[in-house]
Homo-oligomer: A and B are copies of this chain.
């Protein structure tokens, strides 16, 4: 089975990592729209336009399923993509909500959703969680985590000050949804600041979602991967090497 993984840039590599660890696909085409990253600060129409262009890009590669790894694109463009695609298109928000359901039994658990301004602005995590009868949900846009990860700042004073800036006024959090594919690189730091809150990670969620909803239970011994980017593909490949190491 051949999957396309679409992200606004390098963030979706954290989703790719989970797919590789789980050996879900035989072939993966990864496309990062690095020429126009980030999506999370842009408006809905722009995100839809760029996502539809990405779909056209994948038409050259005969994929069986498209995974929208970017939370901002999942939040704003998933319906537009589904309307025109001839293959299944799945996003990371539905899968994130499914992951909360399977991990968290207590409907009164204090859940924090963090993401880009676009993702949090869509309110889709909160709506989905309330549909599943979770009652205590707090959503915060934490856009600065994105450039910190892009710059490789994964610890130190700037990160500590940023954690404090976003989270200092929160009361107890039990579970935090990492609603942006950049955030798993800060997973330990975020969880630790929030008194070891349970983390929900888009990549792990997608793997589970593919198994439950699309019966993707085969394990492929090797996965062939091709990387494409709208700007600086060598930079994307280098980041993939740094983040994914031996999985490639």
Contacts and interface: CB of A to CB of B under 8 A. Distances in A.
A42 interface: yes
Interface in A4-36: 34-36
A201 B238 CA distance: 35
Contact of A158 (B146, B151, B161, B230): B161
A231 B151 contact: no
A41 interface: yes
Contacts of A43: 231-232, 235
Contacts of A41: 37, 150
A79 interface: no
Nearest to A159: B161
Interface residues of A, number: 29
A88 interface: no
A143 interface: yes
5 contacts: A36-B36, A37-B41, A158-B158, A158-B162, A160-B161
Given A143-B147, A147-B143, A232 B158 contact: no
A159 to B, nearest CB: 8
A156 B147 contact: no
A244 to B, nearest CB: 21
Interface in A63-87: none
Given A36-B36, A42-B35, A42-B232, A148 B157 contact: no
A62 interface: no
Given A35-B42, A42-B35, A148 B156 contact: no
